[in-house]
């Protein structure tokens, strides 16, 4: 009867693949109030006020900006929260999406 090895030998053979991360993309629009965008970035995406200002300015200058990189469930949930907030406050042109990161 052959003895089976346990412990680190098993762990050495396992290759754990980390889940993919997704980028949250915010698009510029001309109707959503700047303060509302800052609020969303600070409260929902937990950015500092300076980070939020930089992201909002980049979206305004380039047409879009990466808000952050998150696991898919987190990215989807935060985008949905942001879109719900925008819809409740009648910001119909506010748009965010997620795309698979590198």
Span of 16-25, 52-61, 80-89 with lowest mean pLDDT: 16-25
Fold category of 19-100 in CATH = Ribosomal Protein L30; Chain: A, (3.30.1390)
The rounded percent of the chain whose pLDDT value lies above 70 is: 87
DSSP codes of every residue in 22-83: EEEEEE--SSS-HHHHHHHHHHTS---HHHHHHHHHHHHHHSEEEEEEEEHHHHHHHHHHHH
pTM above 0.85, yes or no: no
Query: CA 36 to CA 21: how far, in whole Å?
Result: 26
Least confident of 9-18, 72-81, 84-93: 9-18
Tokens representing 75?
């990215």
- Domains of the chain: which residue ranges? 19-100
Answer whether residue 31 shows pLDDT above 70: yes
Q: Is the pLDDT of residue 26 over 60?
A: yes
């Amino acid at each position: 009867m052959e003895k089976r090895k346990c412990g680190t030998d098993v762990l050495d053979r396992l290759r754990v693949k980390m889940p993919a991360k997704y980028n949250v993309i915010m698009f510029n629009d001309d109707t959503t109030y700047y303060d509302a965008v800052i609020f969303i970035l600070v409260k929902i995406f937990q950015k500092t006020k300076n980070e939020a200002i930089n992201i909002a300015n980049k979206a305004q200058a380039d047409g879009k900006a990466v808000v952050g990189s998150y696991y898919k469930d987190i990215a989807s949930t935060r985008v949905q929260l942001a879109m719900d907030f925008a819809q409740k406050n009648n910001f119909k042109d506010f748009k965010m999406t997620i795309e698979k990161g590198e």
